[in-house]
Structure 1
Amino acid sequence: MTKQWQPLTDPQWDAISPFFDLKRKRKHELRQIINVILWLLRTGCQWRNLPPQWPNWQAVYYYFDRWKQDGTFERINAALNQSDRKRVGKEAQPSVLCIDAQSVKLNPMICEHRGMDVNKRVNGRKREFVVDTDGRLWVVDVHAANEAEGPASISLIGTILWRVGERLEKVYGDQAYNGAFAQALTEWSIDFEKASRPESTQGFVPVAKRWVVERSIAWTNFFRRIVKDYEYTLSSSVSWLYLANIQIMLQRL
């Protein structure tokens, strides 16, 4: 993974341009708008502090908000995941997924959807990551950090089935999901397997099958915009996480 932002190359733009309406004549090129959004993701800059060489921040935010609401980012993310799986000789849809959560601090000036994760001592929000066995992000959700992972992730099952389809056979997760979430999966004939480290071990130990989702969570550290949650709305938080995975998939082209 490259640590420095770079503008989209022609092959990268060709991979995502079909998801945009390019027939209309616009004041700003959509390729430039995407470049600015990915620059914001990498650098963590505030909307109002965009450099003067970029389009006005209201114009960039208009497109970000529009694509966030109509699901464009989700569709691009799913399509790039499928393309990358085919590139390495796999089926487009995964049959095994891994789920885990990350608690992150929330901007002090934001009160919406805030909670305290007493186990990790984090006052903020919790992110639910659903990835395949290579770490590609397929589904993500964000909620207050005081909500338990298992019950909160039940609402993700419908989205998981919609994105992945009928190939899904098994989901790996830790003890937090070995309850209401696991029971809900059985109603769809999907197995849940708890993957956790042996109780006798100390310190960090990579857990078979589940370490990939922990690696995907670690990848968020490359994008300053999502190291901490700065968003007033949960939908914006989710969109930035999808954009991070989109950036990773584009770098593999």
Structure 2
Amino acid sequence: MTKKYLRLTDGQWQVIKNFLPVKTKGHYALRDLIDAILWILRTGCQWRNLPENFPKWESVYYHFRKWGKDGTLNRLNAKLNKMERKRQGKHRTPSLFSIDSQSIKSGPFTSMEKGVDGNKKINGRKRHVITDTLGLIWGVKVGPAHQPDGYAAQDVIEPLLGYLDRMKKILGDQAYKKGFIDWVKEHVIGLEIEISSTPPSEKGFVPLKWRWVTERTFGTFNFFRRLDKDHEKTPESQEYWILWQNCQIILNKIK
């Protein structure tokens, strides 16, 4: 992980420019808009404090929200995931997934869809992500921290069913027993849910095969200040930042 944000290289830009819309609102270059979004992701800067060497924050924010809502960001994330899997000698789409959640504290001025996770004593929101065995994020859902994992998982999985036709098994912990397994049996043919947990005799953190990669992915969020806490007014914005973070991780591997 680099110690500071470096602007997109020519090689990185060549990879992603074909996955983005050609036209933008205003006169700003598409590459500068992407650089501004990734800079905020890394530094945690407030929108209105975006430095003057980037486009105006209103334009950057407009495209951040637009690309999240119209599916551009999801398509970019999926394309980069497939590219990275191919680079590592794997099939472009995975068959084995791991799903997990992370409760995080909310920052100031965050009031929509919040709750208290009674187990972890956290007042804020909960991130639900599904990753492959490389730790790449394929789906994300953010909701109040008190929302049961099993029911939130349905919202994570459903959008993926249309194009991840190799999905065969999802690994999860005991929290996904209630609600999720029954939903899968009713709505998804041929998808296996494997529930695993730490052996009772073990104490502390015990890495479980394949599921530890999702924990590692949560760990990478700490290197992006915009994700160290939930600073977003809406849970959708938090979801967009998580997908941008996954894209940035992949782009960092390209010179």
Could you tell me how far apart the structure 1 residues matched to 2:248 and 2:25 are? Answer: 26
In the TM superposition, 1:88-99 aligns within 5 A as: 88-99=88-99
Residue 110 of structure 1 is matched in structure 2 by 110
Deviations 1:2-42, CA, capped at 9 Å, x for gaps: 23211111121111111333367952111011001100000
Structure 2 residue 51 is matched with structure 1 residue 51: yes
Residue 183 of structure 1 is matched in structure 2 by 182
Structure 2 residue 16 is matched with structure 1 residue 32: no
Residue 217 of structure 1 is matched in structure 2 by 218
Deviates more, 1:193-202 or 1:73-82: 193-202
In the TM superposition, 1:1-253 aligns within 5 A as: 1-22=1-22, 27-164=27-164, 166-187=165-186, 188=188, 189-253=190-254
Contact 2:41 2:225 in 1 (8 A): yes
Could you tell me how far apart the structure 2 residues matched to 1:97 and 1:88 are? Answer: 17
Alignment-mate amino acid for residue 113 of structure 2 = H
Contact 2:141 2:155 in 1 (8 A): no
Alignment-mate amino acid for residue 236 of structure 2 = S
| Cα offset, 1:127, TM superposition | 0.5
Residue 49 to residue 95, structure 1, CA distance change in 2 (3 Å): same
Q: Structure 2: 5+ residue runs without aligned partners?
A: none
Q: How many residues align?
A: 252
Residue 176 to residue 79, structure 1, CA distance change in 2 (3 Å): same
Could you tell me how far apart the structure 2 residues matched to 1:195 and 1:252 are? Answer: 32
TM-score (norm 2): 0.94
| Cα offset, 1:78, TM superposition | 0.3
Could you tell me how far apart the structure 1 residues matched to 2:100 and 2:79 are? Answer: 23
SS of residue matched to 2:162: helix
Contact 1:157 1:185 in 2 (8 A): no
Deviates more, 1:109-118 or 1:36-45: 109-118
Deviates more, 1:80-89 or 1:22-31: 22-31
Deviations 1:195-251, CA, capped at 9 Å, x for gaps: 221111111111112101110111111100011111111211100000000000111
Contact 2:141 2:152 in 1 (8 A): no
Alignment-mate amino acid for residue 167 of structure 1 = R
SS of residue matched to 2:97: strand
Q: Which runs of 4+ in 1 moved over 4 A?
A: 23-26
Contact 1:37 1:60 in 2 (8 A): yes
Could you tell me how far apart the structure 1 residues matched to 2:79 and 2:20 are? Answer: 14
Contact 1:178 1:194 in 2 (8 A): yes
| Cα offset, 1:59, TM superposition | 1.5
Contact 2:129 2:156 in 1 (8 A): no
SS of residue matched to 2:76: helix
Residue 114 to residue 24, structure 1, CA distance change in 2 (3 Å): closer
SS of residue matched to 2:124: strand
Deviates more, 1:32-41 or 1:20-29: 20-29
Contact 2:129 2:137 in 1 (8 A): yes
Could you tell me how far apart the structure 2 residues matched to 1:242 and 1:107 are? Answer: 20
Could you tell me how far apart the structure 2 residues matched to 1:26 and 1:13 are? Answer: 20
Could you tell me how far apart the structure 2 residues matched to 1:24 and 1:50 are? Answer: 19
Q: Structure 1: 5+ residue runs without aligned partners?
A: none
Deviates more, 1:15-24 or 1:105-114: 15-24
